[in-house]
């Protein structure tokens, strides 16, 4: 059986990034760099590798620089060209998206992740699509979304990336309840946003990668407020679960939560330790720092 291809991806990037103030006072948190690329570029590249053709950024006031980052930079490119800086030139052109493939949807009020996704409804239209939260970075040779697309091509329906988390951390995540766990995929039977430790159905947390059917927009349109008075994507998925299949995928790779300082620094060290240019010099430096 073949399922409709996943061609579009939504990137909710309207958040304030308060955990990184003052760095994010004027600069969006998605422009913070992980090694040599901003977080948003990591997410876009993961999506591209998974076959995504259209990229939809859900932005708020002051986030236009996220669009500029993917525009061409002719003056800079001319200078690099005339100076023979081929590698730098390649890096600049790699970060330019093809004409007509990047679109934006405005989210004028911070009403929650579900609302952010709903803001992209007319750009997505009536087809299945991906959602990537750039804060969640997954380091793996095969990208997390590529793995999810494979799962989707097998099962259809909706696919959510999941990971086991320590029980004391369940209240930071959407948590799934599932069955038929074969160690890689799980049939999802329930979803709950940030449950208390005592009532959590499991320790399998939703990580910021989703493949969703367009019917999710009908659920989001109800604008029902959930935890924290926000329109939660998890709640809309929980309702859609009554009519549609949801599969959880335990993806391969290490996930870093770049939405907080510790996860962001850890991700930078992990990526730097794989970078051919600096890894050999960084290793002794890190060891020295730890030693002292």
What mask of x and - would describe binding to ligand G1P in positions 146 to 185, judged by CB under 6 A? ---------------------------xx-----------
**Residue (105 or 206) nearer to ligand G1P, CB:** 206
**Residue (46 or 193) nearer to ligand G1P, CB:** 193
Tell me which DSSP letter residue 82 carries. H
Q: Which stretch binds ligand G1P (CB under 6 A): 42-50, 118-126, 203-211, 216-224?
A: 203-211
Q: Which residues between 83 and 122 bind ligand G1P (CB under 6 A)?
A: 113
Q: Which stretch binds ligand G1P (CB under 6 A): 90-98, 217-225, 230-238, 243-251?
A: 230-238
Name, in order, each residue with C-beta under 8 angstroms of 66's C-beta and a sequence gap of 6 or more: 13, 28, 30, 31, 40, 57, 59
Total Cβ atoms within 10 A of residue 99: 7
Q: Does 238 bind ligand G1P (CB under 6 A)?
A: no
- Tell me how far CA of residue 230 lies from CA of 15, 111, 118, 239, in angstroms: 13, 5, 13, 16
User: Which of 34, 210, 25 has its CA nearest to residue 113?
Assistant: 210
8 Å CB contact between 222 and 238: no
Q: Does 206 bind ligand G1P (CB under 6 A)?
A: yes
Residue whose C-beta lies closest to ligand G1P: 174
Determine which helix (DSSP H) or strand (DSSP E) holds 184, and give its type and residue range: none
* 271/253 Cα distance (integer angstroms): 13
Q: Which stretch binds ligand G1P (CB under 6 A): 74-82, 123-131, 226-234, 239-247?
A: 226-234
Question: Tokens 């969640």 belong to which residue?
Answer: 136
Q: Minimum distance from CB of 143 to ligand G1P (Å)?
A: 16
Binder among 136, 163, 219, 235 for ligand G1P (CB under 6 A): 136
User: Which of 51, 54, 73 has its CA nearest to residue 145?
Assistant: 51
Q: Minimum distance from CB of 6 to ligand G1P (Å)?
A: 19
Q: Give the binding-site size for ligand G1P (rule: CB under 6 A).
A: 13
Name, in order, each residue with C-beta under 8 angstroms of 85's C-beta and a sequence gap of 6 or more: none
Q: Which stretch binds ligand G1P (CB under 6 A): 33-41, 67-75, 206-214, 266-274?
A: 206-214
Q: Does 60 bind ligand G1P (CB under 6 A)?
A: no
Cis amide bond preceding 136, omega within 30? no
Q: Does 207 bind ligand G1P (CB under 6 A)?
A: yes
Q: Which stretch binds ligand G1P (CB under 6 A): 36-44, 50-58, 200-208, 238-246?
A: 200-208
Q: Minimum distance from CB of 174 to ligand G1P (Å)?
A: 2
* 81/78 Cα distance (integer angstroms): 5
Q: Hey, is 273 helix, strand or coil? A: coil
Residues that bind ligand G1P (CB under 6 A): 113, 133, 136, 173-174, 193, 205-208, 232-234
């Amino acid at each position: 059986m073949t399922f409709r291809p996943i061609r579009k991806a939504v990137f909710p990037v309207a958040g304030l990034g308060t955990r990184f103030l003052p760095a994010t006072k004027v600069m969006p948190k998605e422009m913070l760099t992980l090694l040599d690329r901003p977080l948003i570029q990591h997410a876009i590249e993961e999506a591209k590798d998974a076959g995504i053709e259209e990229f939809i950024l859900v932005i708020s006031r002051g986030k236009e620089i996220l669009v500029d980052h993917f525009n061409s930079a002719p003056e800079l490119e001319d200078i690099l060209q005339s100076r023979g800086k081929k590698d730098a030139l390649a890096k600049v052109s790699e970060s330019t998206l093809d004409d007509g493939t990047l679109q934006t949807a405005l989210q004028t009020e911070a009403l929650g992740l579900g609302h952010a996704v709903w803001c992209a409804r007319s750009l997505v239209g009536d087809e299945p699509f991906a959602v990537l939260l750039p804060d969640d970075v997954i380091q793996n040779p095969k990208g997390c979304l590529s793995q999810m697309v494979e799962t989707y091509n097998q099962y259809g329906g909706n696919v959510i990336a999941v990971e086991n988390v320590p029980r004391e951390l369940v209240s930071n995540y959407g948590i799934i309840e599932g069955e038929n766990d074969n160690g890689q995929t799980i049939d999802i039977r329930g979803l709950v946003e940030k449950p208390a430790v005592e009532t959590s159905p499991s320790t399998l947390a939703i990580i910021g990668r989703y493949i969703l059917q367009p019917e999710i927009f009908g659920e989001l349109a109800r604008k029902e407020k959930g935890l924290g008075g926000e329109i939660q994507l998890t709640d809309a998925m929980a309702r859609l679960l009554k009519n549609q299949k949801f599969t959880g995928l335990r993806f391969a790779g290490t996930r870093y939560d770049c939405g907080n300082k510790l996860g962001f620094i850890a991700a930078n060290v992990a990526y730097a330790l794989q970078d051919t240019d600096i890894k050999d010099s960084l290793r002794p430096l890190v060891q020295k720092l730890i030693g002292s």
